């Protein structure tokens, strides 16, 4: 998907599906064109929940300046996303046994419906209009030959989410469960999943343990961050340790992902505002080493890791090790940077905005592919 998406006149209806409320809106050219309509999700009553989906999109359609071409939204898994079938959800217990919500909405509204994982759409939004174009523009201005097309996105919130964009496309996997990084092993407790070390409850649990207070009295991460920064009364050492541990676990997850993705990493989610306290530990983890039978230490990643929130790191990243080489047998020269580099940064759009943009772009991309399919078949 190219930047022309921001000039695309087509409208897509979207949904931010939370456990408590559903928030409906529509986008055109990557920007909202309607007000947001919030309705209770009724997640414990399937009939009411499905009726809410229909009501919300009906009301948004009435607000659209012209008919929408698709519906696209993030929905919690497990789901068969390509077929729009929702599985047994934790925070919406009415969904059990496989509910074909996508096909139902297609029957009612007569337009294509696309469901996806919020982590996937977050990564896609940042690839379309967030971190990737931002970094690539900086590289172009710096005269670097390097460009990035691959991105790993991580969301730190109620849970730990992930998404992969590969060569401009969302990588979903054969079972719609690619980038389910919450199930990786927790570096600090090998019998636990990574999510237990990198989410809201992880920060609260560590703070409670370090501060010696009951878990039920523990403040939310935003308050713990303020304590850690000395802006609020509390146990500052406990607050800093809570975010440090989150950074170490999250860094281990990103390190595993980047070993496969070989690109940039972007972080969002409700806990991401605490990045000044956890990003240093995260980057330290990415820059770690492993031992070998030869008695030497080898870097965790084959590429040099840059903290793209650190101005000095950004300067070095943009400079790289660019040199000119001559094409053998000619006088022609090429720019060449022999030093592989990856980097990690915070969301440039905001989590919700990135998810919405990702949903919009994903819908248009797939609408275009559906239109092109019959023509390709006749060639």
Q: Are strands 70-74 and 21-28 parallel, antiparallel or unpaired?
A: unpaired
CB 207 within 8 A of CB 238: yes
Three-state secondary structure readout of 193-236: EHHHHCCHHHHHHHHHHHHCCCHHHCCCHHHHHHHHCCCCCCCH
CB 189 within 8 A of CB 196: yes
What pLDDT is attached to residue 292? 86
> Residues of 69-81 as b/e, b for ≥16 C-beta within 10 angstroms?
bbbbbbbbbbbbb
Residue length of the chain: 379
For the chain, which residues make up each domain, given as ranges?
3-117, 131-348
Residue 377 has pLDDT above 70, yes or no: no
CB 361 within 8 A of CB 5: yes
Asked if domains 3-117 and 131-348 share a fold, the reply is: yes
**Is the CA virtual torsion 55, 59, 61, 62 positive or negative?**
positive
Pick the CATH number of 131-348 from 3.30.70.60, 3.40.50.300, 3.30.420.40, 3.40.640.10: 3.30.420.40
pLDDT digits 0-9 by tens, 150-171? 999 999 998 999 999 999 999 9
What distance in Å separates the CA atoms of residue 200 and residue 196, rounded to the nearest whole number? 9
What pLDDT is attached to residue 379? 42
pLDDT digits 0-9 by tens, 192-246? 999 999 999 999 999 999 999 999 999 999 999 999 999 999 999 999 999 999 9
Task: Please give the structure tokens belonging to residue 173.
Answer: 């996997």
Cα separation values, 287 from 69, 182, 255, 350, Å: 46, 21, 9, 26
What pLDDT is attached to residue 89? 85
- Collapsing DSSP states into helix, strand and coil, what is residue 250? helix
- Collapsing DSSP states into helix, strand and coil, what is residue 325? strand
- Give me the mean pLDDT over the 75-82 stretch: 89
- Residue 14 sits at φ, ψ, to 5 deg, of -130, 170
CATH architecture of 3-117: 2-Layer Sandwich (3.30)
pTM beyond 0.85: yes
pLDDT digits 0-9 by tens, 342-366? 999 999 999 989 999 999 999 999 9
């Amino acid at each position: 998907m190219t930047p022309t998406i921001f000039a695309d006149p087509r409208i897509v209806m979207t949904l931010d599906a939370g456990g408590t409320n559903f928030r409906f809106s529509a986008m055109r050219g990557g920007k909202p064109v309607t007000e947001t309509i919030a309705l209770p999700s009724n997640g414990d009553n399937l009939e009411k929940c499905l009726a809410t989906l229909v009501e919300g999109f009906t009301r948004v359609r009435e607000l659209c300046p012209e008919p929408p071409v698709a519906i696209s939204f993030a929905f919690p898994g497990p789901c068969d996303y390509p077929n729009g079938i929702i599985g047994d959800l934790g925070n919406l217990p009415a969904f059990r046994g496989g509910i074909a919500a996508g096909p139902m909405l297609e029957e009612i509204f007569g337009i294509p419906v696309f469901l996806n994982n919020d982590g996937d759409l977050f990564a896609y939004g940042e690839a379309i209009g967030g971190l990737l174009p931002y970094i690539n523009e900086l590289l172009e201005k710096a005269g670097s030959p390097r460009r990035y097309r691959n991105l790993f996105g991580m969301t730190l919130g109620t849970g730990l989410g992930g998404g992969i964009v590969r060569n401009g496309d969302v990588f979903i996997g054969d079972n719609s469960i690619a980038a389910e990084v919450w199930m990786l092993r927790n570096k600090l407790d090998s019998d636990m999943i990574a999510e237990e070390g990198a989410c809201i409850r992880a920060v609260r649990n560590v703070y409670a343990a370090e501060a010696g207070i009951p878990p039920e009295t523990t403040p939310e991460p935003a308050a713990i961050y303020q304590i850690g920064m000395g802006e609020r009364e509390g146990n500052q050492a406990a607050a800093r340790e809570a975010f440090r541990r989150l950074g170490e676990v999250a860094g281990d997850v990103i390190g595993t992902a980047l070993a496969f993705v070989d690109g940039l990493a972007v972080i969002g989610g409700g806990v991401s505002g605490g990045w000044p306290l956890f990003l240093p530990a995260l980057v330290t983890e990415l820059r770690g080493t492993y031992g070998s039978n030869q008695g030497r230490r080898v870097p965790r990643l084959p590429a040099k890791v840059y903290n793209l929130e650190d101005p000095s790191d950004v300067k070095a990243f943009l400079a790289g090790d660019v040199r000119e080489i001559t094409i053998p047998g000619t006088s022609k020269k090429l720019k060449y940077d022999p030093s592989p580099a990856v980097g990690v940064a915070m969301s440039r759009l905001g989590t919700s905005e990135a998810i919405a943009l990702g949903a919009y772009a994903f819908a248009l991309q797939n609408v275009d592919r559906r239109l092109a399919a019959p023509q390709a078949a006749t060639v």
